[in-house]
Structure 1
Amino acid sequence: MIIEINVSLKRGVLDPQARAIHQGLKSLGFLDVAKVCLSKKIILEFEHNDNQKALLEAEKMAKELLANTIIEDYQIELKKD
């Protein structure tokens, strides 16, 4: 069983890395890009096939370690094997 957790900065939190990428794209002539946002994807592969247990464990992992919930949001998605 595979779970994906996508972690990104909350709206309004400054993202200097995304801003640098946006400026770089503009300097290369990609002027139609209105906004750049970065996120990190964490893929967890579980040995069991209990969807509910995996989702609960992933939620706990995200809250306790994988995301800084003060400045980051996260989304958890169950993937088909």
Structure 2
Amino acid sequence: MGRIIVEVMPKPEILDPQGKAIVGVLPHQGIMQFGDVRQGKRFELTVDGDVTDEALEAAKKAAETVLSNPIIEDVVGVYAEEQ
């Protein structure tokens, strides 16, 4: 069974309140190295058999039309996961 990973992030100009909340909590946990956090989404799509070019193209289409909101999000990755 193959797996395709789709990664979606908010566009840079869109506010990310979840990322702001996370970056605000990190110092309270003793984690001081990070000045900013952006939170995105990861989808795992499974296919029967190996991941083909056709399956990757279908995943890209799904990413652009169903898995993301193109007004406020960018699809930043669509790739086969190594197993």
TM-score using structure 2 length: 0.85
Unpaired runs of 5+ in structure 2? none
Q: CA RMSD in A?
A: 1.5
Poorly superposed stretches of 4+, deviation over 6 Å: none
* Deviations 1:25-75, CA, capped at 9 Å, x for gaps: 134443321111111110011014351111111011111110111111111
**Alignment partners' CA distance in 2, 1:53 and 1:28:** 45
TM-score, normalised on structure 1? 0.86
Residue 39, structure 1, aligned to residue 57, structure 2: no
Aligned-residue sequence identity (percent) comes to 31
- Return 5+ residue gaps in structure 1 as ranges: none
